[in-house]
Amino acid sequence: MQKLSKIAVLTSGGDAPGMNPCIRAVVRTAIYNGLQVTGVRQGYQGLIDNNMYEMNNRSVSNILNLGGTILKTARCLPFRTDEGMEIAYNNLRARGIDGLVVIGGDGTFTGALRFSKKYPDIAVMGVPGTIDNDLYGSTYTLGFDTATNTVIEAIDKIRDTADAHDRLFFIEVMGRDSGAIALRAGISCGAEAILLPEKETAIEELIVSLKAGQYNKKSSSIVIVAEGDKHGGVYDIAKAVEKEVKNYDIKVTILGHLQRGGSPSSFDRILGSRLGYAAVNALIAGKTQQMVGLQANNIVSTDLEEALNQHEFKLEDDLMQMMEILSI
């Protein structure tokens, strides 16, 4: 096993609060262990454009509290091609880099694994960073906790006005393929119903439960719709319900990108720190083509191949059932 001397770190895909604490941990753990660290700007695009800079302990001062990512992120089409990967590889080798930490979601890991299979002399370690919480191998991903808290704060405010006016609100939250944010936020805010991409809910069923809520003297109702719900857009769903559920003023709110921003929660700062620290230590130990993750409050490594093959968010049916009972 050749000794690692210089690593690079990048953030890729959608930004997620907690990426900055993770970058800080990567840089400081590496330097503590005598490694040099290069920061790559704009994800894989920065590897291709040679948009990188040398980092030191001060490069990551006062970033623990910042949302987004100081390294910037991007969706990079050229990295999907063999030519793009070759340019990235040559740029890394020219800088003497032999280890790479990638912080991102499943697309980022797919790219990292392909790259590492082509160029195994650069070790890669993944860190799960996505607000969607949809990666196998880690119970929680970076950014999910903060994003859920942001959604909860917004929905609490909407509940105040919904209650004052006897309103029914449909609130769209992020999660094209994953209902994780919708489910947690729904339980936390006492939503009357949650529509998720993983579970088909008939509109008729929704109408029956909203009417039951009215019969039970509920003065407001909140339906959370994950953006990937099978029924289409939140406006279509609201329209279909409006025809059947009377005596409610129906409103729609799309929370949108505000869900990505904001200062990382304590949980995400600690998770980012633990995962960044573990990723560098794993590279030093000679590991590659793996991701670090949190399981039963322990940091563990999973092969990227396995993580990507098993990739499927398992809807927590027990939580869904509990939510339905508690919101009656």
Q: Give the β-pairing of 167-173 and 221-226.
A: parallel
Q: What are phi and psi of 142, to 5 degrees?
A: -60, 130
251 is known to lie in a ligand binding site: yes
CB of 201 vs ligand ATP, minimal distance in Å:
24
Residue pair 97/122 in contact (Cβ under 8 Å)? The answer is yes
Q: Which is nearer to ligand ATP, 19 or 162 (CB)?
A: 19
CB of 10 vs ligand ATP, minimal distance in Å:
10
- Angle (CA) 15-229-314 rounded to 5° is 70
- 206 SS3 class: helix
166 is known to lie in a ligand binding site: no
CB of 244 vs ligand ATP, minimal distance in Å:
36
Q: Which is nearer to ligand ATP, 79 or 136 (CB)?
A: 79
Binding residues for ligand ATP (CB under 6 A) = 12-14, 44, 75-76, 79-80, 104-108, 110-111, 114, 130, 132
Distance of CA 273 to the CA centre of its chain: 16
Distance of CA 181 to the CA centre of its chain: 10
Q: What are phi and psi of 299, to 5 degrees?
A: -90, 125
Which residue's C-beta sits nearest to ligand ATP? Answer: 107
Q: How many other CB atoms sit within 10 Å of the CB of residue 328?
A: 10
Q: Which is nearer to ligand ATP, 309 or 321 (CB)?
A: 309
196 is known to lie in a ligand binding site: no
200 is known to lie in a ligand binding site: no
The maximal CA–CA distance of the chain, rounded, in angstroms, is 71
CB of 96 vs ligand ATP, minimal distance in Å:
23
CB of 43 vs ligand ATP, minimal distance in Å:
6
103 beta partners: 11, 127
25 is known to lie in a ligand binding site: yes
Q: Which is nearer to ligand ATP, 77 or 285 (CB)?
A: 77
CB of 66 vs ligand ATP, minimal distance in Å:
18
176 is known to lie in a ligand binding site: yes
Residue 156 among the catalytic residues: no
Q: Residues with Cβ < 8 Å from 252, sequence gap 6 or more?
A: 169, 170, 171, 172, 234, 235, 238
Residue pair 96/123 in contact (Cβ under 8 Å)? The answer is no
Q: Which is nearer to ligand ATP, 134 or 192 (CB)?
A: 134
Strands (E), 130-258: 167-173, 193-195, 221-226, 249-254
Among 15, 98, 132, 134, the active-site one is 132
What distance in Å separates the CA atoms of residue 33 and residue 233, rounded to the nearest whole number? 50
80 is known to lie in a ligand binding site: no
What distance in Å separates the CA atoms of residue 259 and residue 32, rounded to the nearest whole number? 34
113 is known to lie in a ligand binding site: no
Q: What are phi and psi of 90, to 5 degrees?
A: -65, -40
Q: How many other CB atoms sit within 10 Å of the CB of residue 139?
A: 13
- Name the binding residues for Mg(2+): 106
- Name the binding residues for ATP: 14, 75-76, 105-108
- Name the binding residues: 14, 24-28, 75-76, 105-108, 130-132, 159, 167, 174-176, 190-192, 218-220, 227, 251, 257-260
* Residues classed as catalytic: 132
